[in-house]
Amino acid sequence: MTNKYMYFIANWKMYGGLKSLNSLDKVNKFFKRFKMNKFIKIVYCPPNTLLYSMALKLKKSKIEVGAQNCHENKDYGAFTGSVNPIMLKNVGAKYVIIGHSENRKIGENNKIINLKIKNALKSGLKVIFCIGETLQDKRKKITKKVLNNQIEFGLKKVNNKKNIIIAYEPVWSIGTGLILKSKDLSETVNFIKKKTKNLKILYGGSVNPKNIHEFTSVSNIDGFLIGGASQDPNKFIDIIKKTFN
Ligand code: PGA
């Protein structure tokens, strides 16, 4: 049971077509009626192809829309296949996820992530900055060192951090069903809070209605970044309900 402000960020990854937007009706209806809705921020991050339609659909709703990544350049330019943060803002995005491990895995390094964060903020987007250790890091017991580095480099020369939310996502937990022990999670979140001077910290990695109770006992968490389970409106709603019960 919680009565603090909580974020529920839906990361649809490379899933969803126009028909998937219908699933938002259910979530919207639930959200309007939910008695704890003053304590909740819901953000949907669909693929870019759905951003504009989703933002239009949610125009009158308190649910907000975000993108899953952006180009590191703020200006327009010859970057085939890329989208800059201004373009995302232009079609209704308020947030952007940066530094997701699925992008780090394909070559996005700390330097690029740092540029992306700076330019997304300059463009007026709020940033959901993902950090997390791999299984190898965990085995080597260097989780804190890795997180420390990701934070130091990712936020280098970012002076105003008020529009940054950290998403702590252990890479080994994403899409695998494996989760951390509450005690370990609480300790890591404390470490990140201290390091970032109290930024909001979300947890991400296999969050679903069946395991959500494991996380709600971790009182220093400010919400969740939800991948797989966010594509099913019933599961997403269930996660929210169970966070407050
Ligand atoms: P998952 O994804 O909930 O499917 O593990 C989380 C994420 O990658 O943001």
Strand partners, 96: 67, 127
Contacts of 244 (CB under 8 A, 6+ apart): 1, 2, 3, 6, 36, 39
The question of whether 169 is a catalytic residue gets the answer yes
Query: Which of 64, 72, 108, 169 is labelled catalytic?
Result: 169
The atom number, within ligand 1, closest to the CA of 101 reads: 8
pLDDT of residue 190: 97
The question of whether 64 is a catalytic residue gets the answer no
Find how far residue 169's CA is from the centre of its chain: 9
User: CA-based angle 120:99:5, to the nearest 5?
Assistant: 75
Distance CA 159, CA 81 (A): 30
Residues of the chain with pLDDT below 50 are none
List ligand 1's pocket residues with C-beta within 6 A.
11, 169, 174-175, 204-207, 225-229
The atom number, within ligand 1, closest to the CA of 102 reads: 8
pLDDT of residue 1: 52
Mean per-residue pLDDT over the chain, rounded: 96
Distance CA 132, CA 212 (A): 19
Closest C-alpha to 208, from 188, 228, 194: 228
pLDDT of residue 52: 98
| Reported pTM | 0.97
pLDDT of residue 3: 73
